[in-house]
Structure 1
């Protein structure tokens, strides 16, 4: 949606800007970072790497390349984690905090193979929300907004208008034309509260056991099911189910042969072969996300 605006370029999955940045102070070793980029799973075309630049200047150049390529005056990026570190690179950054019902997030994480069970699938949501609370406390009010996913799909023009006002541009209908240039469908209220049909009552209880006190402040109601608290033994069993579920999903999505090759490559082998395997894995994942 944002990338479709004629005045706004937007990069997808820009965690490469922050994942190696240490907490506190300092920057990644550039040789280590160059090596990291060699096998990074790019969704956008890989940027040019100017080795004459220091770390923050290099990362800024990646967004500038996107802005220039699209010939637009403004640029932004999607960052799911470690986004507090963006402020060390862009001290004046503005933030659109998008939040979704954690029960749907947990279900989606399982469907994507990022978690093997809803109980573990909600962990990234918890981490992101807790981090956002800390980041928000340090920002002037005029530099951030919160957008609920459910509000966005119910009234996209209104919510996109709010985002446009944050970055001082006017809403443009082109923001809603992305189904014509991508595999994504137009926003629909049917995308919300899928957990009611696709999670078992037990799974809902397990997710709510982790986010019980975080729902109401974000505008979400509890299911009304009895509250439970998994025992230490149950938690250990859930973690084991998660590992097994992720392995099954990877074997199905990559194919058994590539899945085995990836597991072996993680343990060593010639560098060229390991990179070849990683590129094949990345291509398979990107094909599923397209």
Structure 2
């Protein structure tokens, strides 16, 4: 496939790396970024958060207020140009990302949710869909404090896959490629050659050397199949919830799936809330955790903003 040139507005069509969080997107983004002709940014969900499902864009003032509390954007070091509306700012962010590589052939971002909304902004965008076994993703969300069990964790993965399915149905085959995390862990060079061919580029061996200049190690088989050690009842429930998308992505089920009882579902919900609450209390401290609970419901916007900024500072200190 040839490299896509500028569109009718004189801009290059962007490429988006999409997939559920904990699917290996940071690893893949680092690999892409190490190609001399690719400039690729990390998580940029603040873009899709400013677009409604119907395709309406945030006003500039509201977008800037949102960005002021967005931890990821705050660490991105992107400049906010004067006088541009949301569409102008989003395209300017792409230009700034491209400028880090001297206007390369490919520029893109990583997005973890609401991928379909990107077409409202960039109708000619291309996509790299990264998918990992939802059971491993589910297990991986628990230590992050995003879920209290596999039942909740795999729901996050299912949401991402449902959104991808809705988007991919609207795309011609030459506008997207699906890459499985497990295949990257097994043979990274082969998968990267597939990706660079899709992008119209030649494979660059430096893509495999990203670990030399980052804190992320090279992919390995130890990160694949950890779900096999999960509690059988938890695993069965997670497979029931994610069965359609596991099978559709080529992941075989461990056995006959069975819907958890109403009682067990209620227990999963209670466990989920308790585990997440304990995680946040330990991470942010009891005082800040309690304030976040109170001010999220009854506090002013100023109080809420103060809590978010304090939490962001703590998260940044604990980042890898």
Band the TM-score falls in, shorter-chain normalisation: over 0.9
Question: Superposed, which structure 2 residues align to 1:134-149 within 5 Å?
Answer: 134-149=166-181
Match of 2:51 among 3, 21, 27: 21
Question: Superposed, which structure 2 residues align to 1:1-290 within 5 Å?
Answer: 1-42=31-72, 44-73=75-104, 74-197=106-229, 199-224=230-255, 226-267=256-297, 269=299, 274-290=304-320
1:181 offset after TM fit, Å?
2.1
Deviates more, 1:100-109 or 1:272-281: 272-281
1:271 offset after TM fit, Å?
5.5
166 and 283 in structure 1: CA distance in 2 versus 1, 3 angstrom threshold: farther
Q: Does the Cα contact within 8 Å between 2:51 and 2:117 map onto a contact in 1? A: yes
Write the distance in 2 (CA, Å) between the matches of 1:36 and 1:62. 16
Q: Does the Cα contact within 8 Å between 2:55 and 2:117 map onto a contact in 1? A: no
Q: 5+ residue gaps in structure 2?
A: 1-30
Root mean square deviation of aligned Cα: 1.9
254 and 181 in structure 1: CA distance in 2 versus 1, 3 angstrom threshold: farther
The SS at the match of 1:211 is: helix
Deviates more, 1:42-51 or 1:269-278: 269-278
Q: Paired residues, what number?
A: 288
Q: Does the Cα contact within 8 Å between 1:6 and 1:72 map onto a contact in 2? A: no
233 and 133 in structure 1: CA distance in 2 versus 1, 3 angstrom threshold: same
The SS at the match of 2:130 is: strand
268 and 12 in structure 1: CA distance in 2 versus 1, 3 angstrom threshold: farther
TM-score, scaled relative to structure 2: 0.84
Write the distance in 1 (CA, Å) between the matches of 2:245 and 2:301. 45
